[in-house]
Amino acid sequence: MTKRLAFRNARLIDPASKLDARGGLLIENGKIADVGPRLFNDADPNDPEVIDCKGLVLAPGLIDTQRRGPEPAHHAAHATLVGRRGTPEEIAAVVRFLCGPEARYITGQTLHANGGVFMA
């Protein structure tokens, strides 16, 4: 069974590709399967679990997405305090919280879900 998770209405930022656009991101079996400005704009209930990001920013980090090909050299220079990379499921949990009713009083904040990479 394919495990799918879709984020929509997000501000997508990727400094490497100079992407800064509103759109969506699809994760299938722990891998980024698709990303783009028009992805999941018209998602219906039969789609995978869909999280409405309500304009929150999604940006790349040291997350184990099981990429194909060699790992970027700049990743080797970063360590985390927890001694491993994050998982897509851990990031999804943070996004679910921030997009849900429990976080309705949080405004104008940046939450670094990065295992302490800036502190290591």
Per DSSP, the three-state class of 78 is coil
DSSP state of 62: S
Question: CATH assignment of 4-103, given 2.60.40, 1.10.357, 1.10.10, 2.30.40?
Answer: 2.30.40
Residue 118 has a pLDDT of: 64
Per-residue pLDDT, averaged over 83-101, amounts to: 81
Residue-wise DSSP of 67-79:
-SSPPPHHHHT--
**pTM attached to this predicted model:** 0.60
Question: Tens of pLDDT along 25-44?
Answer: 888 877 778 888 877 666 55
Is residue 107 predicted with pLDDT exceeding 80?
yes
* Residue extents of the structural domains in the chain: 4-103
